[in-house]
Amino acid sequence: MVQPQQALPEARSDLRNGETPMNFKALNAAVVICGALVCSGAGAKELTIGFSQIGSESGWRAAETTVSKAEAKKRNINFKIADAQQKQENQIRAIRSFIAQGVDAIFLAPVVATGWNAVLREAKEAKIPVVLLDRDIDPSGKDLYLTAVTSDSVHEGKVAGEWLVKAVGSKSCNVVELQGTVGASVAANRKKGFEQGIAGHANLKIVRSQTGDFTRAKGKEVMESFIKADGGGKSICAVYAHNDDMMVGAIQAMKEAGLKPGSDVLTVSIDAVPDIFKAMAAGEANATVELTPDMAGPAFDAIIAYKAKGTTPPKWIQTASKLYTGADNPQAVYESKKDLGY
Amino acid sequence: MNRFMPVLATTVVFGVGFAICSLIYPNFASPRVVMNLLTDNAFLGIVAVGMTFVIISGGIDLSVGSVIGFTTVFLALAIERAGMPPLTAFVVVLLLCALFGALMGAAIQYFELPAFIVTLAGMFLARGASFLLSTESIPITAPFYGELAEHALLLPGGFRLTVPAMIMLAVVALCAVLLHFTRFGANVYALGGSRSAAALMGIEVGRTTVLIYTLSSVLAGISGIVFSLYTSSGYSLSAVGVELDAIGAAVIGGTLLSGGHGFIFGTFIGVLIQGLIQTYISFDGMLSSWWAKIATGLLLFCFIALQQLMLLVARRRRPRASGAGAR
A181-203 pLDDT, tens digit each: 887 888 999 999 999 999 999 99
pLDDT of residue A6: 39
Q: Is A138 on the interface with B (CB under 8 A)?
A: yes
Residue A16: predicted pLDDT: 38
Closest Cα partner for A53 from A120, A1, A108, A12? A108
Cβ–Cβ below 8 Å for B235 and A89: no
Mean pLDDT of chain A: 86
Judging contacts by C-beta atoms under 8 Å, the chain B residues touching residue A141 are none
Tell which of B226, B232, B280 to mutate to test the A interface (max A CBs under 10 Å).
Answer: B232
Q: Looking at residue A3, what is its pLDDT?
A: 39
Upper half-sphere CA count for residue A20 (Cβ side, 13 Å):
16
Answer whether residue A1 shows pLDDT above 50.
no
Whether A172 and A297 map to the same domain: the answer is no
Classified as helix, coil or strand, B88 is: helix
Spans of all domains in chain B? 29-312
ipTM of the complex: 0.81
Put simply, the chain B residues between 6 and 65 with a CB less than 8 A from any chain A CB are 25-27, 30, 32-33, 36, 39-40, 43
Q: How far apart are the first and last CA of chain A?
A: 40
Residue A111 phi/psi, 5-degree rounding, is: -75, -35
Residues of A in contact with B272 (CB under 8 A): none
**Which portions of chain B are predicted below pLDDT 50?**
321-327
| Same-domain check for residues A242 and A331 | yes
- Rounded distance between C-alpha atoms, residue B139 and residue A107, angstroms: 22
DSSP-derived 3-state class of residue B63: coil
Please give, rounded to a whole number of angstroms, the shortest distance from the CA of B304 to a CA of chain A.
Answer: 27
In a mutagenesis test of the B interface, which of A13, A112, A116, A121 is the best target, namely the one with the most B β-carbons within 10 Å? A112
Distance in angstroms (rounded) separating the CA atoms of residues A132 and A295 = 9
B232 in contact with A at a CB cutoff of 8 Å? yes
Nearest to B169 by CA among B95, B247, B264, B75: B264
Which helix (DSSP H) or strand (DSSP E) does residue B154 occupy?
Answer: strand B152-155
Question: Residue A114 and residue B235: Cβ atoms within 8 Å?
Answer: yes
- Cβ of B185: how many Cβ atoms within 10 Å? 18
Q: Which of A85, A87, A97, A120 to mutate to test the interface with B (most CBs of B within 10 A)?
A: A97
At A9 the pLDDT is 39
- Given a cut of 90, whether residue A221 has pLDDT beyond it is yes
Q: How far is A114 from chain B (nearest CA, A)?
A: 5
Q: Is the domain of A136 the same as that of A230?
A: no
Three-state SS across B273-323? HHHHHHHHHHHHCCCCCCHHHHHHHHHHHHHHHHHHHHHHHHHHHHHHHHH
Between CA B259 and CA B250 the distance in angstroms is 11
pLDDT for the residue numbered B306: 83
Asked whether B250 and B63 are in contact (CB, 8 A), the reply is no
- Alpha-carbon Rg for chain B in angstroms: 21
Q: How far apart are CA B55 and CA B212, in angstroms?
A: 10
Q: Does B157 reach chain A within 8 Å, measured CB to CB? A: no
- Do A167 and A278 belong together in one domain? yes
B96 and B75 in contact (C-beta within 8 Å)?
Answer: no
Residue at A216 is within a domain? yes
What is the per-residue pLDDT across A147-171, written as a single tens digit (0 to 9) for each?
A: 999 999 999 999 999 999 999 999 9
Residues with Cβ within 8 Å of residue B171, at least 6 apart in sequence: B45, B46, B49, B219, B222
Taking the C-alpha atoms of residue B299 and residue B233, their distance in angstroms, rounded to an integer, is 33
**C-alpha–C-alpha distance, residues A180 and B93, integer Å:** 38
Residues whose CB is less than 8 angstroms from the CB of residue B310 and which lie 6 or more positions away in sequence, other chains included: B2, B5, B6
Percent of chain A at pLDDT exceeding 70: 87
- The pLDDT, as a whole number, for residue A132 is 96
In chain A, residues with a C-beta closer than 8 Å to the C-beta of B233 are 112, 114-115
Which of A35-39, A84-88, B1-5, B259-263 has the least mean pLDDT?
Answer: A35-39
Q: Please name the residue ranges forming H helices in chain B.
A: 5-24, 31-40, 42-56, 64-76, 86-110, 115-133, 143-150, 163-181, 183-193, 195-200, 205-231, 242-252, 264-284, 291-326
Give the chain B residue nearest A87 (alpha carbons): B238
Q: Are residues A182 and A260 in the same domain?
A: yes
Testing the interface with A: which of B223, B237, B282, B284 to mutate, by most A Cβ within 10 A? B282
Q: Quick one: A297 and A287 in the same domain?
A: no
The number of C-alpha atoms within 13 Å of B4 and in the hemisphere containing its C-beta is 5
Q: What is the pLDDT of residue B320?
A: 53
- Could you tell me the CA-to-CA distances from B159 to B20, B153, B166, B306 in Å, in that order? 21, 8, 12, 35
Residue B199 DSSP symbol: H
Does one domain contain both A177 and A275? Answer: yes
Q: How many CB pairs under 8 A join A and B?
A: 101
Q: Looking at the partner chain, which of A17, A90, A114 has a beta carbon nearest the beta carbon of B138?
A: A114
Q: Judge: A101–B150 Cβ closer than 8 Å, yes or no.
A: no
Closest approach of B169 to chain A, Cα-based (Å)? 19
Between chains, do B282 and A98 touch, taking CB under 8 Å as contact?
yes
What pLDDT score was predicted for residue A67? 94
Percentage of chain A with pLDDT > 90? 71
Task: List chain A residues with CB under 8 Å of B235.
Answer: 88, 112, 114-115
CATH architecture observed for domain B29-312: Orthogonal Bundle (1.10)
CATH code at position A237: 3.40.50.2300
A321 occurs within a structural domain? no
Residue A12 predicted with pLDDT over 60:
no
Residue A300 lies in a domain: yes
CB contact at 8 A, A157 and B189? no
B150 interfacial to chain A (CB closer than 8 Å)? yes
Least confident of A119-123, A242-246, A311-315, B4-8: B4-8
Which positions 90-109 of B are in contact with A (Cβ < 8 Å)?
Answer: none
Q: Which residues of B touch A103 (CB under 8 A)?
A: none
User: A213 CA to chain B: closest CA distance, Å?
Assistant: 19
Q: Tell me the pLDDT tens digit for each residue of B253-292.
A: 999 888 999 999 999 999 999 999 999 988 888 878 888 8
How would you classify the pairing of strands A323-325 and B152-155?
unpaired
Are A187 and A333 members of one domain?
yes
Q: Would you call B235 and A115 a contact, using CB atoms and an 8 Å cutoff?
A: yes
A88 touches B at CB < 8 Å: yes
Specify if A87 maps to a domain: yes
Cβ neighbours of residue A120 under 8 Å, at least 6 residues apart? A95, A130, A141, A144, A145
Does residue A10 have a pLDDT over 50? no
Find the domain containing A121 and state its range.
48-150+293-311
For residue B233, what is the nearest residue in chain A, using CA coordinates? A115
- Please write down the long-range contacts of A220-226, taking CB distance under 8 Å and 24 or more positions apart: A220/A249, A220/A250, A220/A252, A220/A253, A221/A249, A221/A253, A222/A178, A222/A246, A222/A250, A223/A176, A223/A178, A223/A249, A223/A250, A223/A253, A223/A254, A224/A253, A224/A256, A224/A257, A226/A176
Domain count, chain A: 3
Exposure class string for A302-334: b at 16+ Cβ within 10 A, else e: bbbebeeeeeebeeebebebebbebeeebeebb
Q: How far apart are the CA of B151 and the nearest CA of chain A, in angstroms?
A: 11
Amino acid at B303: F
Same structural domain, A56 and A35 = no
Same-domain pairing of A187 and A253: yes
B95: three-class secondary structure by DSSP: helix
CB atoms within 10 A of CB A54: 25
- B235/A112 CB distance under 8 A: yes
**A100–B231 C-beta distance less than 8 A:** no
In a domain, A9, yes or no: yes
Question: Is B22:B319 a contact under the CB 8 Å cutoff?
Answer: no
- pTM value? 0.80
Residue A25: predicted pLDDT: 45
